Every structure is written in structure tokens, then in C-alpha cells.
Amino acid sequence: MKTRIAELLQTAVDHLVANGTLPEGTAPAIRVDDSKDKAHGDFASNLAMMLAKPAGKPPRELAQALIDALPADNAISGVEIAGPGFLNFRVASDVLSDQIAALLADAELGVSAPAAPETVVIDYSAPNLAKEMHVGHLRSTIIGDALVRVFERLGHRVIRQNHVGDWGTQFGMLLAHFEANPADAEELLLADLEGFYQAAKKQFDADPAFAERARALVVSMQSGDAECMALWHRFNDITLKHADALYARLGVLLTRDNLDGESRYNDDLPRVVADLDAAGLLTEDAGAKCVFLDEFTNKAGDPLPLIIQKADGGYLYATSDLATIRLRIGEYQCDRSLYVVDKRQHLHFQQVFAVARAAGFLPESAHFEHLGFGTMNGEDGRPFKTRAGGTVKLATLLDEAVERAARVVAEKLPNASSEEAALISERVGIAAVKYADLSKNRSTDYTFSFDGMLSFDGNTAPYLLYACARMASLMRRCDAAGITAASVPALEMDAEVELAKHLARYTQTLDRVAERGLPNLLCNYLFELASHYSTFYEACPVLNSEPAVASSRFALSSLTHRVLVDGLKLLGIDALDRM
């Protein structure tokens, strides 16, 4: 539709140039994107405002001239001037019916294979091993997983990357602690890995001999000492089991095949340093090897280094991130790499990408982007903590969400069997946590509130899941009543037209989610879809209408249901048939 409207506008402009209303050369070629979507699927163009000045006419007057010069087209049922001079196009309802018919007949709901499929690396979750995952990892895991699903759905090849922090000082501490406490059994580690790590960290800070031993063990580990490596494997396995269990419960796609943690890059780090050196980028600063680029300075205007190797020979977070780029470009041949990481790491990624470009690790054609996200705050507006001030463990948080969901479910759905209630509570509780996160613009901080996310009103998972279950129930009743879905639904009532327009915008919404890395755009879309449906359902009875009308409305309902289920799936949420 957009292209069609752009073509019509171009014809009108050419006409105005030909008749002298617009001076030659003032009218730009009309780009499809200059006609913006209006909220409900019609189109608005600000062309008249752009051209008013060169034409020397008030924008509304020029808008009228454009309308007069528009060729007739049966895809458009009307054009109006709005506000200061916007041109609002209304799409003809038979065009819309055809669009809906095409969606109904298409198993992919209008999503077609991209002209040029990309290889997209998505870096997300990335907990630090030897520590239990906590809420800080939740956002990355959930947002990253939704983006994986959207890119795959759009036909791109996605490579998931879990860049776990599985190397370096903390492992030295653990090895030293283990050496000093050989009685520590694996069961103890599983039961309280966090406590084990904390004890090691405490001793590391307090006891210089222990710290020295820990550092020596890091060196042994880095040079591949067999005993150290065996223990390292064991620690990793224990902690990864925690992560796997959480991924499974959250319905997150990450598996062990997606692990390319910091340890993977150990052997490449000296080569990264050598290559930076060969490119003439390294500067020694107090014994450390650094890269200074002109574009990075601190507040005082002093140059800001990216430290590559410490004076003691140790490598840094940035060094392994330079290595991730080489792997992703060299081996994975990616066109795009998205890093779903806390926004406080923004400068780190800007520096790493810039250094990689300067060193020739990262070609101009590859799109690398840090998709930062804000902090998850408690209702007091401060970073989310337990009452005692500790970090909240992810497993505990999910348990509480499900427990609270069970209370809401018991109240809202008193007739569910206990088995059904348990299943619904688990689904609703987990979905609520995920959706609450996904529905906020990732770049801002957000307030974690169990009450808000479990509400059946508003832009929440329970609302959407319930809407979905009600649609599924209507489908069953239609089937039972022998109603079949029309293949080309008639769009007569306003509520039908509005719903249809919204349905027609599904693929374009997915494109935008991918383009901007913003799953909240999909949440908004689905919430609006459910709202349009609810208006439609009130205004347009399905079951008690004459057969042709019922069949047409059944088709619209079933398409809405399919889009909602598909959209939720892309957010990593499984719809329920009954609630």
C-alpha cells in the first residue's frame, strides 16, 4: 500500500511541476517512507508541508492542489486534509478484504522470505559462571530470546551466542578455595554455589597468600594445566546446570551448543594483541597495552584508553570481546551482530567496535550493535533487591511469580480443576514476568511489580493469554455450530475495518521489531490487536448472526487468534487454549 501511495503522490507532484504550481527541481523524488502509517493502518503524508515553502503557498492550499492532481485509484477510498496540512489516505475496504483473504490463506501470516537473508549473531544472557544467575541476567535473557525468534521468523539465519563469563580471576579463587577445602563435595556446590563463591571471594580479599595462590592458579588454568582444567570443567558443569534449568523453565532457546564463553577465546587473545600491534594501534601506558582513539575522551577531554593487556600480562573483558568479533566475522560470517547487554556497558561496546574497525577486524559492511537495556528496579525505585539487600535469585523470583499467579488464578478461574489451575498458574506466572519485561522499551529502567504484571487488565500477559483463550473457545463453538470461515471476509462495520487494518500490519510490525531491536513494539501491537478484537466482539456478534455474516466474522476471529498466538510465540510465550 505504501508504495502505491508513494506512486500516486509522485504523479501528483509531476503534474504540479508541469503546470507551474511547483517550480522545477524543488520536488524531491518521493520515497516510500515519507508516507507514514497512521495509528490504525491508514496512511498519512506530510508532503504538502514539505513542499509549501518552495511552492510559496500555505500548506493546506498546496495539500488541496495535490489532492486535485491525484489520479483516481480504487485502492484508495478517500483522501482528507488534516491539521496543518497532512494528507490522510483511507484504504478502500475491498482492498483490505483482499489483504485479509491473503493472510487467511497464508500459513506464514504474510511474512515472506527476505530478499537477502542475513546471518545474525545474537549475544544474550551471558551469566558469569561460578555464581548463581540473578535477576540482572533476566532482561538480557528474555529480550535476546525474543529477538532470536523474530529474526528467525523473518527468515534470517540466527546464531545464538551465550558469552558466559567462564574464565579469569573468579575461577582462580574457586580453585584455590577448593584446594584449601578439599572436603567440599559436589552436593554442597549444587546446594549453595553462591555461598561457595562468596567464601572464596572473602578469603581472596582478606588473605594475600590465598590471593596469590588464586592468581597462580589462573595462570595454570590459562596454560591448560590438566588438573585445573578438570576442576574448571566440573565447576562449569555445575553452574551451567543451574542455567539450563532456568532456561528450560523460562522457555528460552539457549542450549549448551550456543556457548562461546570467554574461555573459548583464551588462545586467540595473544593473537589479538599481536594484530593490534601490527596495525600500529598499541600504546604502552604504565606498563599496560592500550588503544587510544581520538573519538574517545573523558569529561576533561583527556584521551580514554581501551585497555587490552594489563602490565602483569592479564587480558581484559575488552580483549575477549575483540576476539568475539573475529569469530563472528571470520567463522560465523555474520552480517549483523547484536549484543543484548546492560546499557551501562555502552562505552565498552562503542570502544570495542571502533577499535575492531580501526584494526580491520570488523568490515564496514557488517552491522554490529549494542542493544542496551536499563536496570530492573524494585517498587521503591531502586535496583531490585531482596529485603535484606541481597541480589534476588532468578529461581526464587520465578517461584514467587508462579505462587502469586496461583492466587490470581484461583480467584479468576474458580472452576478450573486443580491440575488445570497448576498448569495455568505456571504458564501465567512465567509469562507475566517475561511479558512485563518485554513490553517496556528496553532502553529505560523499569519497575518490577508482581501486582502490575499479574493484572488481568491492561498490557499484561494474563490479559493477552485470557483474550487468546476466549478466542480459542469461540473457535470451538463456531466449529460445533457448523460455521465455516469465509475465505474473503466482508468488512462492513467500523469495528471490522479497524480490526482488519490492524491485522494487515503484522509483518510490518515484525520488521520494525527486528530493525530496532525493540520487542516492546510487538507487545504494543498485540495489546492493540486484543483491544480491537474486544471492540469488534462487542459490536459484531459472531454466533448469532446470519450464516454469511457469521462465517465472515469467524474468519476475522480465527485470523486474529492465529496472529495473537504467533506473536506471543515470538515473545517466547505459549498461548493457552483454555483458561
Q: How far is the CB of 380 from ligand ARG (least distance, A)?
A: 24
567 is a site residue for ligand ARG (CB under 6 A)? no
Helix (H, G, I), strand (E, B) or coil at 307: strand
HEC string of 325-371 equals HHHHHHHCCCCEEEEEEEHHHHHHHHHHHHHHHHHCCCCCCCEEEEE
Q: Which of 260, 321, 496, 498 is the binder for ligand ARG (CB under 6 A)?
A: 321
128 is a site residue for ligand ARG (CB under 6 A)? yes
Q: Which of 165, 462, 489, 572 is the binder for ligand ARG (CB under 6 A)?
A: 165
110 vs 372 by CB, closer to ligand ARG: 372
Closest Cα to residue 235, out of 189, 270, 266?
189
309 vs 439 by CB, closer to ligand ARG: 309
Closest Cα to residue 568, out of 461, 455, 436, 453?
461
Residue type, 44: A
384 vs 435 by CB, closer to ligand ARG: 384
Q: What are the grid coordinates assigned to 458, written together?
A: 491492561
Place of cell 606498563: 287
Pick the piece of the chain touching ligand ARG (CB under 6 A) from 19-27, 123-131, 280-288, 372-380. Answer: 123-131
Q: What is the rounded distance in angstroms from the CA atom of residue 425 to the CA atom of residue 428?
A: 5
163 is a site residue for ligand ARG (CB under 6 A)? yes
| Under 8 Å between Cβ of 374 and 343 | yes
Pick the piece of the chain touching ligand ARG (CB under 6 A) from 121-129, 368-376, 494-502, 546-554. Answer: 121-129
321 vs 498 by CB, closer to ligand ARG: 321
Q: How far is the CB of 163 from ligand ARG (least distance, A)?
A: 4
Q: Which of 126, 402, 491, 559 is the binder for ligand ARG (CB under 6 A)?
A: 126
139 is a site residue for ligand ARG (CB under 6 A)? no
- Which helix (H) or strand (E) covers residue 14, if one does? helix 2-18
Q: Which of 141, 170, 324, 351 is the binder for ligand ARG (CB under 6 A)?
A: 324
Closest Cα to residue 125, out of 157, 158, 168, 164?
164
141 is a site residue for ligand ARG (CB under 6 A)? no
Q: How far is the CB of 530 from ligand ARG (least distance, A)?
A: 34
Helix (H, G, I), strand (E, B) or coil at 120: strand
500 is a site residue for ligand ARG (CB under 6 A)? no
Q: What are the grid coordinates assigned to 462, written together?
A: 494474563
Q: For the chain, how many residues are written?
A: 579
Helix (H, G, I), strand (E, B) or coil at 539: helix
- Which helix (H) or strand (E) covers residue 158, if one does? strand 157-161
373 vs 525 by CB, closer to ligand ARG: 373
- Strand 43-45 to 76-82 pairing: unpaired
166 is a site residue for ligand ARG (CB under 6 A)? no
Residue nearest to ligand ARG (CB): 126
Q: Which of 339, 353, 450, 536 is the binder for ligand ARG (CB under 6 A)?
A: 339
Q: What is the rounded distance in angstroms from the CA atom of residue 137 to the CA atom of residue 128?
A: 9
239 is a site residue for ligand ARG (CB under 6 A)? no
462 is a site residue for ligand ARG (CB under 6 A)? no
List of residues contacting ligand ARG (CB under 6 A): 123, 126, 128, 163, 165, 321, 324, 339, 341
